[in-house]
Structure 1
Amino acid sequence: MLSLIKTHAKKHYQLQIAITAVFILIFNIGTLFEATMNTRVIIGGIGIFAIYLLPTITYFTEKEKSFFKTFYVLCYIGFEILIVIRTIYRYLYPQNLIISNDLFDSLYSICLFLLTLIGIVGFLLLVKENQDHKIKKLLNDKNQFFSIISHDLRGPLGSSVSLSEILLENIEQYSREEIKEISEMLHDSNKNIYKLLENLLDWSRVQTGMIAFNPKKLLLNALIQENIELGKNVALHKNIRILFESADLIEAEVDQNMISTILRNLLSNAIKFTDKNGEIKIKLQKINHQVEISITDNGIGVPENIKEKLFKINGKVLQKGTENELGSGLGLLLCKEFVNIHEGEIWVESEIGKGSVFKFTLPLKAV
């Protein structure tokens, strides 16, 4: 029930397991000390009520509601009410049978059967609704995916074709310096195409489950330093300093390719949105049972209306870099997917004109 009602229900589920274990223990202790059958029925009734109370309350604290969810929860509320009434009745009128032949227990059994039947129908309708929702989301993501391809790939490809055409038709009229300048522009355009295609390919592979998750024990300090070296040339072009800060050597079980992709994309964005002579700080630290990696720049910042769209496929982000660098936003989508696979979190803190801080966490498991 919890898994269908609430997406992040892991803690609640663990609490349900704990409640179940406690009442099983109490019931068995009662049996061991030869408690009456009526007492055992009351213990069982209170236990079942406690177990199903949590998901029922959880539903009403949830923002997203639907007809079938409400229908399903109402069945559980009815079930809870029946349990309470029967427990009170057994307390007031003790009996030494699990189910007696009196009118009340007969009515209780009939109502319980009807509620179970209705609940099964509600459950099946709720499962169908959830499946329909997932299919709709996949179709929307697919449409957005093709929209990104058609819009964002057309720009750099068009530039590349135009520049190569100019160079081909007028090469004899240009000086060596002009040819070099056009070639550099062509090279930059091709690099953008390659990066976009690489992100598109990785993102599509994640969506289709084709990327394998291969965590290994790695020194994160060395992995970060390695990716800083890869981004240094681009940073030097804008005279941007990249600083790395870590008080400890931290090891974790991570997928090297995924974490490198996250670091490259976040570092690339930081360089893109930082002015010349700026500074980027990368910080690695342990916080409780997690590793937190933050990439801070003193660039142009992220507007509030863009923040909430950064990690969503259906949120089109249009923001150029300090030198009119273009981006599709796919890099951040990829970062979120890879962080989720590691069971971590990613977010941004930013202020216009003062820069941005992109942070992500990874669970620090025993290695």
Structure 2
Amino acid sequence: MRIILSYVIFTVLFAVQSSAASVVKLSTQHSYQRIGRLCGWYMDKDARLTLNDVIQPAFQPNFQPYEHDMRSYGITNAAIWIHATYSSKERTYLVAEFANIDSIFLYYFDSGRLKTIVSGSHLPLKNKRFRVPGFSFELPASNGQPKEFWVRVRSGNAVIIPLALTTPEGLQRSFMGLFVIELVYAGVVLALFAYNLFLFISLGTRNYLYYLCYLICFVGFVLFYLRGFHVFLGQKLSYFINMNGISFVAVTYMFAILFSVSFLDGKKHAPRLRKALFVLIGLLWIPVIFNLAGYRPGAIKILELCSFLLPFAFIYMAIKALKQRYRPARYFLAAWSVLLVSMMLFATANTGLLPFLPFSFWTFYILPIASAVEMSLLSLALGSHYTEMKREKIAMQEAMLAEVEKEVTERTKQLKESNHVKDKMLGIISHDLRKPLNNLSGLLDLVELKALSAGEIQDFSLTVRQNIKHITGTMNNMLNWSLSQMNRIETRPQKIILYPFILQIIETYWYSTDQKNIHLKADIPEGIVVLADFNQLNLIVRNLLDNAIKFTPKGGMILVGCRTAAKTVELYVQDNGIGMHPQEVERLLSENSFYSTEGTEEEKGTGLGLQLCKEFIVRNGGILEVKTAPGEGAEFSFCVPRV
């Protein structure tokens, strides 16, 4: 009764002041009107006022006008009261075009009786007159006379109140306004999802998997929570999404971090930031827990902070990647820049931080539009990444092909060189062996004809023995060289007492040195032990002695000695023979060179022995070195490990 009496008093006063009031007039030409700027607004911070309080004439000055069609109060526990007057000859509907409002009370008087209609996201869906996102209430026709109503709104989500009055004809326009942008948005997202799902199935890379998960979660948040499409999913699921839908943001950010770190190679471009983002993934479970525990305002505030920080982190990582010339990062940078600007505008308008940036319908739709642009740019980034991968793969294949061609060319060259060396070797060996074999054949013919005396046979036998020794040495060198070319020779180091080893070799050269009256001696201290392959070291020393005898004139001297160090022993063969020019030394030591000249007594050679010496010295851990000058003799030396 008190409310009705207060209403009668208010009606009388309203009739006196009706010229100052804003009346929403609906007609055939104006069947749909947003009424935010035509209403009076009041925030009841303690949420204690009742309808009887707000309809008192003394309270009316507290209702303040607003300059825009939609009003936002951010996250607040206050109750928002709206007072408006309308005039219509038809049935009229009040539409709240936002789905996440916990409770809405509509009050109006009809034929002197107070009517109260309750709605909100907490009520069963069957109580809604139209099962669409948002809330709608039927108001009585006013028969062309001004008629008032009051609305009380309260919500645990961000309090956004877009109100419109419409006739039955304009109601369709209201529903179309709720669906058109969202359907376009859903179509864009569906196309992006199908395209990137195909790429994920084709390539199987984690980038596309993380992007698809990010896409699903973000779209779930925008369509089913922010835009209220959860009303089509049934009562239980609709209620759950309305109460806990803010958790979609946390999960969305988790996949956004995984996608960004993977796509931009955070381990390479921003390792410290990558570690911080992985820590943040764990911290993002905190708002999820807050939300499930019923503390939605706390969860929303944490996620609003993340909404500012994460884009900056992603933009920083993209800039770092761009500096490393990772071109797909351009689209990534543009995508998160667009989303960051939209989030800042949305949050700033929602909280009213900047008076010149009010919350309006363009602000209301900026997040879905910006997210569609962002996802399109991210899809372009993935496409650019795919193109980059193909380009790198082609470049790698071309490089591999070039490497194979280079290797084939090199091996062909080596094969030609090897064939050339073998041909040269056969020519040298056949020429080198012809004279000794002819001498041996001639001697046998003379012996068979009994044309030689016993003394002549004795003299010839010495020559034949020297020829056979030369042939044997050449054949041994040839055998070892062919085995080394086929990698059939294994080096087996063992301990060798150097003094008896060298003496035993020197004793086999008494005939050769005696023929040229060469003095051959050794300067090897007793007790020195080296680590080398016995047979290979034997061949090295013998070939160096052969060369020294060959190029030392009659009456010359050859010295086989060593110089000791802490871990090595340097063996050398020194003579006072004819020596060599630097060009000859260079040619002698070059790879695959079978360089040979005649000795002081026109001795022939193949150059094969020195090649074997170089290879076996390397196998035993040393390098062949030559010190010589024309007319001053030569010294060939190499090092072996000391035990």
Q: Same fold (TM over 0.5)?
A: yes
User: Which amino acid is 1:277 matched to?
Assistant: G
Is contact 1:298–1:354 with CA below 8 Å preserved after alignment?
yes
Residues 210 and 39 (structure 1), Cα distance of their counterparts in 2 relative to 1, 3 Å cut: closer
Taking only aligned residues, the RMSD between alpha carbons, in angstroms, comes to 3.6
Instruction: Find the aligned partners of 1:244 and 1:161 in 2 and give their Cα distance.
Output: 36
Deviations along 1:20-76, whole A, 9 cap, x unmatched? xxxxxxxxxxxxxxxxx899534779xxxxxxxxxxxxxxxxxxxxxxxxxxxxxxx
Instruction: Find the aligned partners of 2:544 and 2:469 in 1 and give their Cα distance.
Output: 17
Deviations along 1:291-349, whole A, 9 cap, x unmatched? 32221111111233322232457534241112221111110011112122224211322
Aligned pair 1:242/2:520, yes or no?
yes
Shift of 1:204: 0.3
After superposition, residues 251-266 of structure 1 pair within 5 angstroms as 251-266=529-544
Aligned pair 1:198/2:476, yes or no?
yes
Match of 2:268 among 27, 38, 41: 41
Aligned-pair identity in percent equals 28
Instruction: Find the aligned partners of 2:323 and 2:537 in 1 and give their Cα distance.
Output: 51
Shift of 1:257: 0.4
1:152 match: 429
1:75 match: none
Query: TM-score under structure 1 normalisation?
Result: 0.65
Shift of 1:132: 3.6
* Structure with higher helix content: 1
Match of 1:123 among 387, 400, 418: 400
After superposition, residues 23-102 of structure 1 pair within 5 angstroms as 41-42=268-269, 84-85=324-325
Deviations along 1:148-173, whole A, 9 cap, x unmatched? 22333334334433453355247544
User: Which amino acid is 1:179 matched to?
Assistant: I
Residues 288 and 281 (structure 1), Cα distance of their counterparts in 2 relative to 1, 3 Å cut: same
User: Which amino acid is 1:284 matched to?
Assistant: C
Instruction: Find the aligned partners of 1:246 and 1:102 in 2 and give their Cα distance.
Output: 79
Q: The residue matched to 1:361 in structure 2 has which SS?
A: strand
After superposition, residues 144-293 of structure 1 pair within 5 angstroms as 144-165=421-442, 168-169=445-446, 171-246=449-524, 249-287=527-565, 289-293=567-571
2:613 match: 335
2:414 match: 137
Instruction: Find the aligned partners of 1:311 and 1:158 in 2 and give their Cα distance.
Output: 28
* Structure with higher strand content: 2
Considering Cα pairs closer than 8 Å and 6+ residues apart, tell me whether 1 or 2 has the greater RCO: 1
1:51 match: none
Is contact 2:622–2:639 with CA below 8 Å preserved after alignment?
yes
Instruction: Find the aligned partners of 1:221 and 1:83 in 2 and give their Cα distance.
Output: 67
Residues 40 and 156 (structure 1), Cα distance of their counterparts in 2 relative to 1, 3 Å cut: closer
Shift of 1:176: 3.2
Q: How many residues align?
A: 286
Larger Rg: 2
Is contact 2:531–2:640 with CA below 8 Å preserved after alignment?
no
Which runs of no fewer than 5 residues in structure 1 stay unpaired?
1-36, 46-80
Instruction: Find the aligned partners of 1:42 and 1:345 in 2 and give their Cα distance.
Output: 46
2:276 match: none
Instruction: Find the aligned partners of 1:341 and 1:167 in 2 and give their Cα distance.
Output: 43
Residues 82 and 122 (structure 1), Cα distance of their counterparts in 2 relative to 1, 3 Å cut: farther
| Structure 1 stretch displaced more, 267-276 or 208-217 | 208-217
Deviations along 1:115-168, whole A, 9 cap, x unmatched? 354134313421442244134323422332243223333343344334533552
Aligned pair 1:310/2:310, yes or no?
no
Which runs of no fewer than 5 residues in structure 2 stay unpaired?
1-260, 273-320, 337-376
2:94 match: none
Is contact 1:157–1:193 with CA below 8 Å preserved after alignment?
no
Shift of 1:262: 0.5
Is contact 1:293–1:361 with CA below 8 Å preserved after alignment?
yes
| Structure 1 stretch displaced more, 110-119 or 297-306 | 110-119
Q: The residue matched to 2:627 in structure 1 has which SS?
A: strand
Is contact 1:231–1:264 with CA below 8 Å preserved after alignment?
no
User: Which amino acid is 1:325 matched to?
Assistant: E
Instruction: Find the aligned partners of 1:213 and 1:82 in 2 and give their Cα distance.
Output: 54
Query: TM-score under structure 2 normalisation?
Result: 0.39
